[in-house]
Amino acid sequence: MPKQKQLQVSAIENGTVIDHIPAASLFYVIAILGLDQIPNQTTFGANLDSHKFGKKAIIKVADKFFERDEINKISLVAPHAKLNIIRGYEVVEKRDVTIPDEVVGIVKCFNPKCVTNNEGVLTRFRVEDKEDLALKCHYCEKITSRDELQMV
Ligand code: CTP
Ligand code: ZN
């Protein structure tokens, strides 16, 4: 069969394509970016074949261009995500996501006794290790690591 490139999810005219999302993180990314709350036309593909990840997911949001701070929030669940900015059907920019120094209100503190788990206080962490992911709670100072990561 001739080598051909076929899109598994239709191309978009303008907007953002978030590619190379680990398959298991798709719905976290949707929740973190609030894509279930916006009126933009959004398409996604789950469990697509990927050379890098085995299985990946992709999200395409029409007419949406994310701020860096906003998009970096997904780095916790999709550290290797690639952003493609599309204008007039062309990829005009590619961006990586970077893990921020501080994480507010996305993940739960691992410590069941933490004030954030008992009094409705928004979680806040310093990222102490970006490689292995170690989040130090601003309130109880306990470390939440990648294995313990739970979304709020
Ligand atoms: N894409 C899209 N609509 C367009 C142009 C591109 O949905 N009008 C999507 C492509 O399907 C692809 C991503 O944007 O998933 C990046 O496009 P491109 O850079 O052309 O693809 P690749 O070279 O495969 O990108 P990479 O290797 O960086 O993942
Ligand atoms: Zn805590």
One domain, residues 90 and 106: no
C-alpha span between 125 and 127 (Å, rounded): 6
Ligand 1 lined by 57 (C-beta under 6 Å) = no
Domain extent, residue 84, equals 15-96
Domain end position, chosen among 78, 96, 114: 96
CA of 47 to the centre of ligand 1 (A): 17
Ligand 1 lined by 19 (C-beta under 6 Å) = yes
Interval 5-28: pLDDT, tens: 778 899 999 999 999 999 999 999
Summarize the confidence of residues 38-66 as an average pLDDT.
94
φ/ψ (deg, to 5) at 94: -120, 140
Report which protein residue has its CA nearest ligand 1's atom 17: 91
**Residue 131 forms part of a structural domain:** yes
Provide the pLDDT confidence category of residue 119 given band limits of 50, 70 and 90. very high
What is the count of structural domains for the chain?
Answer: 2
Find residue 102's DSSP bridge partners.
126
φ/ψ (deg, to 5) at 25: -100, 0
